């Protein structure tokens, strides 16, 4: 019998490559057309963009809405399931900005202060700090 896949492995199988995560980030701003996505992510070849959009659509993370029949053209948007990835991307971006001399931290739009991404326990109604995070486990 094969070992069960861990939750992290399952997530990475669905969205675990650079281009998919950057596409999801671009779509967090709202629906976009193919050309707009291509322009917003430097270095992403059109064939890779097309393949990633199809794969993310198959994973129910992205929805393609037609706006032209001839030629067939689509607007791409995140599904509700795709929108749930916003928190994950914020945590990853926060971690990335702390480890890079070139990445700007995320900032609060109202006051400009760098924000901190934290884990939150809804049962205890409090933040889980670093020492406690060692006790976290994937179920």
The pLDDT value given to residue 90: 83
What's the rounded Cα separation, in Å, for the pair 6 and 138? 8
- pLDDT score for 121: 85
Q: What is the per-residue pLDDT for 107? A: 85
Helices (H), 29-139: 34-40, 46-58, 80-83, 86-98, 130-133
CA atoms of 4 and 136, how far apart (whole Å): 19
pTM: 0.76
Helix (H) or strand (E) holding 13: helix 7-15
Distances (CA, A) of 47 to 35, 50, 70, 136: 12, 5, 20, 39
| Residue 28 DSSP label | T
CATH of domain 7-83: 1.10.10.10
- For residue 13, report the phi and psi dihedrals to the nearest 5 degrees: -65, -35
From first to last of its 139 residues, the chain has per-residue pLDDT tens of: 456 678 888 888 888 889 999 999 999 999 999 999 999 999 999 999 999 999 999 999 999 999 998 999 999 999 999 999 988 888 888 888 888 888 888 888 899 998 877 778 889 888 877 655 555 565 4
Inter-residue contact 56 to 15 (CB < 8 Å): yes
């Amino acid at each position: 019998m094969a070992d069960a896949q861990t939750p992290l492995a399952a997530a990475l199988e669905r969205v675990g490559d650079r281009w998919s995560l950057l596409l999801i980030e671009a779509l967090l701003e709202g629906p976009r057309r193919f050309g707009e996505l291509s322009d917003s992510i430097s270095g992403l070849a059109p064939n890779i963009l097309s393949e990633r959009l199809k794969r993310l659509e198959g994973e129910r993370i992205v929805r393609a809405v037609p706006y032209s029949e001839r030629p067939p053209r689509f607007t791409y948007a995140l599904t509700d399931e795709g929108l749930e990835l916003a928190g994950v991307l914020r945590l990853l971006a926060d971690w990335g900005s702390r480890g890079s001399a070139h990445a700007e931290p995320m900032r609060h739009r109202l006051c400009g202060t760098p924000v901190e991404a934290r884990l939150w326990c809804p049962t205890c109604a409090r933040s889980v700090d670093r020492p406690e995070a060692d006790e976290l486990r994937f179920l």
